[in-house]
Structure 1
Amino acid sequence: MTSRININRPAPQSYSPQPYASAPPPPMNMNSGARSSGSFDASSESQLEKVRVWASWAEDQIDFLSQPLRPYLPSIGRFLIVVTFLEDALRIVSQWGDQLWYLQKHRGFPWGISHFFLFINVVTMLAGSGAIIAKRYSEFAVGALMGVVIIQGFGYGLIFDLNFFLRNLSVVGGLIMVFSDAISSSKRNFAGLPSLTENDRRKYFQLVGRVLLIFLFIGFMIQGQWSFARVLVSIFGLVACGMIAVGFKAKWSAAFLVILLSVFNVFINNWWSVHSHHPQRDFLKYDFFQTLSIVGGLLLLVNMGPGGLSVDEKKKIY
């Protein structure tokens, strides 16, 4: 998660219609004004209906194209969510000496405590990731991995780093999506929520999870060099994020962000094209695997839907 530190550099820093017709002439009397208003309203309804038809068609196409993968989406999503933890555990083991040096020299960890800190992180990430992939004790695994995110933030001194904060909010959102998926089949009562049914708990967790998922894209928007392409991508992405947050056409919006983030990840975070000794390689690798985790959370959203607290669900009722 945050252990991409080596002996050669300090801790990571932040990177970064409706067309309206021309106004009609002033009405000569009340009747003509009513007719003009009626014509305008009819045009508005016609345009809105076209948008609804297009959105329904797009949603149908997404359902059709994803049908072969649909049985595998939960497993793919769960694996992608934890892939950043697996990569981080491997990084700590392969850079054990550098990690110890950084914690002791720069973070002031006493000898022994630094060893225990790294060891408990590796064991927790491997065990928690394996449990989520195997769909065993997912609730406890989610809690353990959330704990890793928090203690690494404090341990490596990145808890107030904006890039770290926004990205890891999205990772936590993906973990909460796993949690909401797990409690749908669990009969266990959760402390602090005695009066809520399983469906109630699930819809609240789905709401929190899908809102947190969009923070990665917000981080992308506010950091980095601006260009016309970046502005264009940011506008479309921000609209999709807003639709996910309120739960309007959430599956369509999540699928759009999956494609957008996947393309962005391959072309921008292409760590494999950077020399193995280049300092930028670790940062790109970190960004690449964290983005994969958010893509995994979005895939779970595509599979599960936005939940009960959403515009899409309310539309079914009314």
Structure 2
Amino acid sequence: MSSRISIARPQASSYSIDPHGLSNSRPSSGYRAANPDDPLEKIRAVGKQVEDNIEIYSQPLKPHLPAIGRFLIVVTFLEDALRIVTQWSDQLWYLQQHRHFPWGLSHLFLFINVVVMLAGSFGVVSKRYTEYSVAGLLGVVVIQGFGYGLIFDMNFFLRNLSVIGGLFMVFSDSMISRKSVFAGLPTLSETDRRKYFLLTGRVLLIFLFLGFVLQGKWTFVRIFVSIIGLAACVMVAVGFKAKWSAAFLVVVLSIFNVFANNWWSVHSAHPQRDFLKYDFFQTLSIVGGLILLVNMGPGGLSVDEKKKTF
């Protein structure tokens, strides 16, 4: 036994405490060789730890994130379809008296909206004919803007840009398992198309928060939340720590939505109830798009992906 140990033990003259050179003191561009006393490196280490914890504790929920995200994205369309059906006469009166729709055309306008929203929502949730479902829901967003005369309303415009961003995230998610989507784009590979859709979806998603910043009275809390939120929005748009910043926005928007758009606390006869309800479900849809971003990641056209390359 002792002879084997003596044979296996290296000679003192040739012994190296770091045979692989891992403790090389030469300057390195890699993260391992960074100065641990550098404040930026400490922040980076904390950020990495936060990302790891998010990844660990979100594992039980991660298989369900795509379904949750898809459902939340279409919930505003489902609520809108239900409101049109339950307020059919009021909707007709508004279109005919204020928007000057002829009798019959107003009926057709509402009917098409309800059918497309229900069919498109079902297609998105069930992952069947996703591209046609997304196209139909995009069409609803556009024609409602013109039909109800809200296309030049800044709040409506920014919110619907974010809803469109959520629909782009749905489309990007569906492209993972599809071999071809748009025959009209023969020069782009499926991977390239998905990159561009993810980039567009990321950028559009943040417009809801921009609308929040531009509206309302300025207080210290509002300024603080706006600064932090805008930083997270920029990180989402450029794809830097995109999963972490998207998760942060999910939390912030969810809390904001419950306290600011609490339509359930308003009397059913109060006209403000419908506006709060509309804003509440639209915000849920945008949260759904951010959840899909947390699940899929920012895609190839992002800082996070470029860091992996370089």
Among candidates 236, 251, 275, match of residue 244 of structure 1: 236
- Which runs of 4 or more aligned residues in structure 1 lie more than 3 Å from their structure 2 counterparts after TM superposition? 42-45
**Counterpart residue number, 2:79:** 87
Higher relative contact order (CA 8 A, sep 6+): 1
In the alignment, is residue 130 of structure 1 matched against residue 112 of structure 2?
A: no
5 Å matches for 1:62-141? 62-141=54-133
Identity of aligned residues (%): 74
5 Å matches for 1:255-274? 255-274=247-266
**Cα shift at 1:71:** 0.3
- Aligned-partner residue type, residue 49 of structure 1: E
Whole-Å Cα distance in 1 between the matches of residues 227 and 160 of structure 2?
22
- Aligned-partner residue type, residue 213 of structure 2: M
**Counterpart residue number, 2:163:** 171
Where in structure 1 are there 5+ consecutive unaligned residues?
1-41
In the alignment, is residue 306 of structure 1 matched against residue 298 of structure 2?
A: yes
**Counterpart residue number, 1:37:** none
Among candidates 44, 53, 71, match of residue 45 of structure 2: 53
In the alignment, is residue 159 of structure 1 matched against residue 151 of structure 2?
A: yes
5 Å matches for 1:212-231? 212-231=204-223
**Counterpart residue number, 2:179:** 187
3-state SS of the aligned residue for 2:179? Answer: coil
3-state SS of the aligned residue for 1:278? Answer: coil
Question: TM-score under structure 1 normalisation?
Answer: 0.85
**Counterpart residue number, 1:283:** 275
Whole-Å Cα distance in 2 between the matches of residues 118 and 189 of structure 1?
30
Whole-Å Cα distance in 2 between the matches of residues 253 and 189 of structure 1?
30
Larger Rg: 2
Whole-Å Cα distance in 2 between the matches of residues 80 and 68 of structure 1?
19
Whole-Å Cα distance in 1 between the matches of residues 291 and 50 of structure 2?
17
Whole-Å Cα distance in 2 between the matches of residues 102 and 72 of structure 1?
40
Whole-Å Cα distance in 2 between the matches of residues 113 and 316 of structure 1?
54
Whole-Å Cα distance in 1 between the matches of residues 181 and 277 of structure 2?
39
**Cα shift at 1:45:** 7.4
CA contact (8 A) 2:243 2:294 kept: yes
**Cα shift at 1:189:** 4.4
**Count of paired positions:** 277
Question: TM-score under structure 2 normalisation?
Answer: 0.88
In the alignment, is residue 142 of structure 1 matched against residue 134 of structure 2?
A: yes
Whole-Å Cα distance in 2 between the matches of residues 86 and 242 of structure 1?
30
Whole-Å Cα distance in 2 between the matches of residues 64 and 283 of structure 1?
39
**Cα shift at 1:44:** 11
Q: Once the two structures are superposed, what CA deviation does each residue of 1:52-76 show, in whole Å capped at 9, x if it has no partner?
A: 1011011111112211110000000
Q: Once the two structures are superposed, what CA deviation does each residue of 1:113-135 show, in whole Å capped at 9, x if it has no partner?
A: 00000000000000000010001
